[in-house]
């Protein structure tokens, strides 16, 4: 197809520190070279890492003046010579990293939005091998939430020892990864115990299928409560999205020999653990999102079950700063998306 003509909007982050450092630029629409495609980006979504970068708390740091956001979805509008994986009109989302296609995680992976331009733009040139087709029933805003939160949750439930129907997983809170883990687990026949901070969010979690919900403000010792709800055996997996503030309770909840999937750095302070807290307890596995194969496997289940990701709010592209501030408020349930139309 002929190259797109004209200009496009991109939002760049001048430097870390504040959403006020986001600025809009007008740039030429890129063209596809051999082996490339151009995606008309229809939507993007926010993750905690995007906020961490803004606050200068992201472990890997970020380069100045980059286009932020690792997650986006859109439609292919131009296909370069030699491309056979996709054609014009295909609906796609980007893989979180550039190097991880299947199998074990490579030693080095580069996500978008921190060291190379991300998805907060109207058009993006991509290697088609870094894209996946998205389920037909999803809107672009819903599809844009898949790459990080969705694949992370999928990996947490699977990995080297996949959970089976009848197993029990504990999810923490109502952010993107936790809600995805709940939804995906229920599609797979896995029992879910969820924690939350309010009765209003507890109701929403139950509506999504949570078998049990623990209000951690009312039950501070929620780890033992979760274990009690399994008949004293313990849960088979904890999707640990918080960090030091919750790790002790997570260890109390999990059955000996089962797994803590370590994902979050939402907190940096909390109870310390030592060798004997882990001895004879659960195994741990650090989750670094997942591979393209994980993404495609997840999408098969989402498409087969007509599962709809939970999108709390959609902001227009020119209100990206407000979307960041809403993420920082912690008042949302599920995911926050940005529409590029």
Helix extents (H) in the chain:
48-54, 140-143, 151-157, 176-187, 199-207, 222-229, 247-253, 275-278, 292-305, 320-329
Helix (H) or strand (E) holding 50: helix 48-54
Rounding to the nearest 10 degrees, give the CA dihedral for residues 249, 253, 254, 256: 100
Same domain, 30 and 135: yes
Domain region containing 94: 7-148+290-339
pLDDT score of 278: 74
Residue 329 lies in a domain: yes
Same domain, 297 and 196: no
Same domain, 40 and 144: yes
Backbone angles phi, psi at 9, to 5 degrees: -95, 140
Q: pLDDT tens across 78-121, in order?
A: 999 999 999 999 999 999 988 888 888 877 778 888 888 999 99
CB 94 within 8 A of CB 131: yes
Q: pLDDT tens across 208-230, in order?
A: 999 999 999 999 999 999 999 99
Structural domain ending residue among the three candidates 241, 266, 286: 286
DSSP structure class, residue 21: G
Give me the residue label for tokens 């956001």.
69
Q: How many domains does the chain have?
A: 2
Same domain, 176 and 92: no
What's the rounded Cα separation, in Å, for the pair 248 and 122? 44
What's the rounded Cα separation, in Å, for the pair 10 and 123? 8
Same domain, 78 and 125: yes
CB 148 within 8 A of CB 337: no
Residue 224 lies in a domain: yes
**What's the CATH code of the domain at 208?**
3.40.50.720
Q: 283-286 and 335-339 as β-strands: parallel, antiparallel, unpaired? A: unpaired
Residue 2 lies in a domain: no
What's the rounded Cα separation, in Å, for the pair 25 and 272? 45
Same domain, 157 and 81: no
Same domain, 162 and 235: yes
CB 336 within 8 A of CB 309: no
Report CA-CA distances (Å) from 123 to 78, 173, 213, 319: 10, 34, 42, 18
CB 169 within 8 A of CB 236: yes
pLDDT score of 37: 98
Helix, strand, coil % over all residues of the chain, rounded to 5: 30, 25, 45
- DSSP, residue by residue, 168-224: EEEEESSSHHHHHHHHHHHHTT-EEEEEES-HHHHHHHHHTT-SEEEETTT-S-HHH
What's the rounded Cα separation, in Å, for the pair 230 and 20? 47
**What's the CATH code of the domain at 304?**
3.90.180.10
Residue 328 lies in a domain: yes
Judged by DSSP in three states, 31 sits in coil
Same domain, 86 and 163: no
Same domain, 183 and 279: yes
DSSP structure class, residue 130: G
Spans of the chain, pLDDT less than 70: 1-4, 60-61, 264-270, 275
Report CA-CA distances (Å) from 308 to 83, 141, 169, 304: 30, 11, 20, 11
Residue 139 lies in a domain: yes
The first and second tokens of residue 155, run together, are 């990996």
The first and second tokens of residue 266, run together, are 């939402």
The first and second tokens of residue 185, run together, are 């687990």
Residue 21 lies in a domain: yes
The first and second tokens of residue 218, run together, are 């009312």
Same domain, 305 and 220: no
Nearest to 262 by CA among 279, 283, 293, 280: 283
Residue 1 lies in a domain: no
190 CA to centre of own chain: 20
Same domain, 244 and 274: yes
Same domain, 278 and 307: no
């Amino acid at each position: 197809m002929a190259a797109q003509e004209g200009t496009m909007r991109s939002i760049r982050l001048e430097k870390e520190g504040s959403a006020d450092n986001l600025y809009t630029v007008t740039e030429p629409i890129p063209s596809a070279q051999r082996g490339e495609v151009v995606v008309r980006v229809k939507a993007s979504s926010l993750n905690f890492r995007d906020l961490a970068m803004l606050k200068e708390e992201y472990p890997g740091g970020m380069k100045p003046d980059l286009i932020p956001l690792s997650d986006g979805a859109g439609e292919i509008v131009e296909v370069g010579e030699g491309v056979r994986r996709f054609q014009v009109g295909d609906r796609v989302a980007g893989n979180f990293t550039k190097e991880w296609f299947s199998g074990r995680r490579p030693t080095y992976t580069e996500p978008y939005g921190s060291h190379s331009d991300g998805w907060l733009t109207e058009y993006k040139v991509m290697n088609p091998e870094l894209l996946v087709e998205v389920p037909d029933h999803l809107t672009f805003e819903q599809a844009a939430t898949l790459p990080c939160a969705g694949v992370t949750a999928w990996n947490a439930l699977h990995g080297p020892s996949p959970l089976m129907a009848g197993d029990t997983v504990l999810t923490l809170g109502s952010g993107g990864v936790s809600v995805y883990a709940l939804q995906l687990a229920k599609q797979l026949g896995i029992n879910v115990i969820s924690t939350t901070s309010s009765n209003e969010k507890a109701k929403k979690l139950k509506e999504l299928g949570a078998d049990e919900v623990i209000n951690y403000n009312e039950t501070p010792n929620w780890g033992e409560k979760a274990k009690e709800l399994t008949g004293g055996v313990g849960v088979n997996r904890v999707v640990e999205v918080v960090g030091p503030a919750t790790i002790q309770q997570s260890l109390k909840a999990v059955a000996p020999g089962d797994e803590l999937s370590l994902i979050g750095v939402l907190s940096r302070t909390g109870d310390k653990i030592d060798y004997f807290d882990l001895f004879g307890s659960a195994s741990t596995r650090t989750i670094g999102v997942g591979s393209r194969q994980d993404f495609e496997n997840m999408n098969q289940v989402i498409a087969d079950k007509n599962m709809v990701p939970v999108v709390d709010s959609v902001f227009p592209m020119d209100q990206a700063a407000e979307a960041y501030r809403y993420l920082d408020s912690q008042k949302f349930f599920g995911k926050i998306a940005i529409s590029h139309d």
